[in-house]
Amino acid sequence: MKSPRALVLGGGVGLVSVTGLVSGWLGALVAFFAAIGTPLFALMAGGTALAWWLDDAPVNRLAPRVLDETFAGSPVLVTIPLFTALGYLLAESKAPQRLVEASRRLMGWLPGGLAIVCLGASAFFTTLTGGSGVTIVAIGGLLLPTLEAQGWSKRFSLGLVTTGGSLGLLFPPSLPILVYALVAGLDFELAFRAGLLPGVLVLVALAAWAALVGTKERIPRERVSWREALGGLWLVRWELGLPVVILGGLGTGLTSLDESAAVGVAWTLLVVVGVHEDLTWKQVPRVLHQALSLAGAVVLILMMANALMNLVIDRQVPAKVLEAMSAVGLESRWQFLLALNLFLLVIGMVMDGVSALIVAVPLVLPLAARFGLSPFHLAMMVILNLELAFCLPPLGLNLFISSFRFRVPVTQVYRSVVPFLGVLAACLAVVTAAPSLSTVLVQPTIDAQRREAEAAGRPPREAWALECVQADALDPKPCNDADRARYATPDAGAEEEEDDALMRQLMGVP
């Protein structure tokens, strides 16, 4: 039986070999440094700069996507350290214990009640902290002994707490959704809205599986008590106020995203220090220092990812990938979706969530534009792939965290997560095959923008940007044949030529 270290080493050698075969010596060099643990921002910055230099292109061309308003002026950039600090404060407090107890009182009477409690508490905690590892340690560490004491098998319990560590990434104010919105240029409020139904689908599917296993194994259920249920809500009244404060400010327009995040941090400090006294004011600087160290690394990686995106577009990588896909017969949308999901699973398995998003999104966006995918459908597939990849053998991050936290061989964790992987894979297949799950809650906004544009007598470019991924976000194009026929103008090309001629004249180019 191979050790986790041997598995990781073997995976690293395989990664270098495959990358070298596919992308040559430069790709193999980057893969080698990745395999030995080089920081991701250094890989992105060094690899991208080296690629520019080898092509005799000015390295300063890396800067535009890092310094433009879309990135440098985005409120999400300020929000990342704030939400990271919020998550660290919650993890260091006794909020996980209160959340587990409240969930038990509310859902313990259901078939498979304690398992459903684990799912609900894990999803809620991951939504606020954005980190699957924190959830496994905080929520899983509390519930694993309780699950076994109630009669659940060791295998099921271990698989449940491991899988629970990646739930909640689709619910607001999810940090992965915020990062995706920043990299892809999406409206974060609409992205939050798009994630609700896929997130509910995942939770309901896993809860149904837990209820089925609980009924089959005759796990005892707790008595229904409305007094207990109300007491559970009262126990976490301050924690429940956190999403209300954040989302309420956004929904009413009283606060912007960064302001809501700041209010959320202030509320969390009030709860964990002032109300429950889980932390003292002397401990807060230590927690914030840890949080901001991680947040600074994330922002630095994001900057390098934008530089990488500039290189990808300039070198016409998507067009070359499309040519390669066509050469092997991958030309239809469903074939692209299948290949996309496999690619995302591999990326998500070998990287943490934020890093996987930063690496994958710039690569898949131009390809998705060629196949006319909805930006929200694509976003939900990407993030749901992360939830699955976190638990996917042999390198899923949650597997090693569970192995370390619960002191069991990683191969035992592999076996325990198999049924849950089946449920998550089924949910991913449904979300992939049914784009409307990801777009139905966004459609009213698209329709409103269409009506507004028609009333003003102009093309609905804002609606097009929400309907399909755009090759050029500054110049949205129609997403269907009807719009292409309706808004096609014979002199459009002439206008573009006039604009180009004017630009050359202003720049003094003949």
Asked if 466 contacts 375 with a C-beta cutoff of 8 angstroms, the reply is yes
Half-sphere exposure of 153 (CA within 13 A, CB side): 12
Of the two residues 11 and 235, the one the predictor is more confident about is 235
| DSSP secondary structure code for residue 394 in this structure | T
| Residue with tokens 């960064």, as numbered in its chain | 258
Beta strands in 192-252 (DSSP E): none
Say what the pLDDT of residue 178 is: 84
Cα–chain-centroid distance for residue 18? 26
What is the tens place of the pLDDT at every residue in 211-264?
999 888 888 777 777 787 788 888 888 888 888 888 788 777 788 777 888 888
Give me the phi and psi of 249, to 5 degrees please.
Answer: -65, -40
For tokens 């959830």, what's the residue? 135
- DSSP states of 41-73 as a string? HHHHHHHHHHHHHHTT--GGGGSHHHHSHHHHT
pLDDT of residue 350: 63
Q: Where are the domains of the chain?
A: 443-507
Least confident of 36-50, 112-126, 274-288, 483-497: 483-497
**pLDDT tens, position by position, 290-339:** 777 767 766 666 666 666 666 665 666 655 665 666 667 667 788 888 88
pLDDT digits (tens, 9 = 90+) for 341-387: 888 887 777 666 677 787 788 778 888 888 889 999 999 999 999 88
The answer to which of 98-107, 189-198, 444-453 has the lowest mean pLDDT is 98-107
Q: CA gyration radius for the chain? A: 24
- Of 7-16, 30-39, 266-275, the one with minimum mean pLDDT is 7-16
pLDDT confidence band for 13 (50 / 70 / 90):
very low
pLDDT at 34 over 70: no
Residue type, position 181, single letter: A
| Selected residue with higher pLDDT from 155 and 117 | 155
Tokens of 137: 């340690």
Residue 80 parent element (H or E): helix 75-92
pLDDT at 60 exceeding the cut of 60: no
Q: What tokens does 131 get?
A: 């980190």
**What's the helix, strand, coil split of the chain in %, to 5?**
80, 0, 20
Q: What letter would DSSP give residue 260?
A: H
Distance CA 465, CA 182 (A): 15
What's the 3-state SS for 90-113? HHHCCHHHHHHHHHHHHHCCCCCH
3-state secondary structure at position 458: coil
Q: Which of 57-61, 306-310, 413-417, 428-432 has the lowest mean pLDDT?
A: 57-61
C-alpha count within 13 angstroms, C-beta hemisphere, residue 381 = 29
